[in-house]
A and B are shown apart, each in its own frame.
Chain A
Amino acid sequence: MTEDTKCLNPKSLTCYQFQTRLPELIGYEENLTAHPHLDQCPICGALLADLESISEAAHLLFPIAEPSEGVWEQIESAIEEEQGHLEPEDETE
């Protein structure tokens, strides 16, 4: 948290000041919903609730998926090619 934020009286923060500091506050304060600014500001409270809901919903996103079979075929082929480059050339040819 910046010195600037520490010096400000949380109750006197405007919405602009609160929102400007929100990225820092979210990582800093364990229970941001108890922030004094939110006692008097339902709009910032709603914003914070939305952001928390999005963050919580993120855990449910993008279930595990399966790559196509072609991926393994390409990996095998690339490995064979790489190993072919590493093998010494046949001097009889």
Chain B
Amino acid sequence: MSDPRLSAHSPETAPCLMAGEADSAAQADSSTSQDLPHPVCHPGEADLLARVRDGDHLAFAQIYSLHKRRIYSLCLRMVGNVSEAEDLTQEAFLQLHRKIATFRGDSAFSTWLHRLTINVVLMNLRKKGLSLLSMDEAMEPAPQGTPGRSFGALDLTLTGSIDRMALERAVKDLPAGYRIVFVLHDIEGYGHPEIASMLDCSIGNSKSQLHKARLKLRDALRSFSRKEARR
């Protein structure tokens, strides 16, 4: 059974930056981010895209104007740094300019561009030598009979009292691997099969990374709550 947030999707060949990524995108399973908050299509976008293919710079400027906020926001969520997010936005649009001819229109342009951007960000993280999978054994449940780090007293539950700003800070502070999986799954709405394909890892690994990310966020939020309570 798949994650209930997943829904059917027509696979789209994303323009990829690494050998094999195009194939893996095309072969990705049918579960993906159909329910993403993407605009389905901007009026006149097909015409604009045709003009961009013909080298119309003004049309490209209009495409940039239509999509810049969503693409920049995606980059910012994934890397947590304004300067880096702007560099990645620039790179994503340059890739778009170079690869626009490979967009076949099988799916929404925004979906295609979204996936292209994710590939740009992942490629950048790999170039920097950052592991796309984080290792943190401290988040494993404690051995039999002893409360683990993730266990908590009932008076410290978060339900109904999550501070959005504190959670945003905690997401930014996550190790890169945890942050990427958390952003892709819980914020962007991708399913584990597609995330596993993007990160070249197993579905189980993707689930494990997400779980550990959420545990780390829980710890961070509880720590924040304790500090607030002391004030």
Contacts and interface: CB of A to CB of B under 8 A. Distances in A.
Interface string A65-92: 1111011101100110010000000000
Contacts of A16: 141-145, 148
A81 to B, nearest CB: 10
A59 B157 contact: no
B69 to A, nearest CB: 5
Contacts of A93: none
B171 interface: yes
Contacts of A14: 144-145
Nearest to B72: A67
A43 B168 contact: no
A82 B98 CA distance: 10
B157 A51 contact: no
A77 to B, nearest CB: 10
B53 interface: no
A55 B214 contact: yes
A54 B218 contact: yes
Contacts of A42: 154
Given A16-B143, A67-B72, A60 B159 contact: no
Nearest to B187: A58
Given A27-B3, A75-B93, A62 B76 contact: yes
A57 interface: yes
A53 B70 CA distance: 25
Contact of B211 (A23, A68, A72): A23
Contacts of B204: 23-24
B151 A57 contact: no
Contacts of B208: 23
A68 B68 CA distance: 10
B73 A64 contact: yes
Of B76, B144, B215, most A-chain CB atoms within 10 Å: B215
Interface of B: 1-4, 57, 60-61, 64, 68-70, 72-73, 76-77, 85-86, 89-90, 93-94, 97-98, 140-145, 147-148, 150-152, 154, 157-160, 162, 164, 167-168, 171, 182, 186-187, 192, 204, 207-208, 210-211, 214-215, 217-218, 221
Given A16-B145, A27-B1, A27-B207, 9 more contacts: A16-B141, A23-B204, A24-B204, A27-B3, A46-B159, A54-B218, A58-B187, A61-B167, A79-B94
**Chain A to chain B: the 7 pairs with minimum beta-carbon distance, closest first:** A23-B211, A58-B186, A19-B141, A67-B72, A23-B207, A46-B157, A57-B162
10 contacts: A16-B141, A23-B208, A42-B154, A43-B154, A46-B154, A51-B211, A64-B69, A65-B76, A67-B86, A72-B64
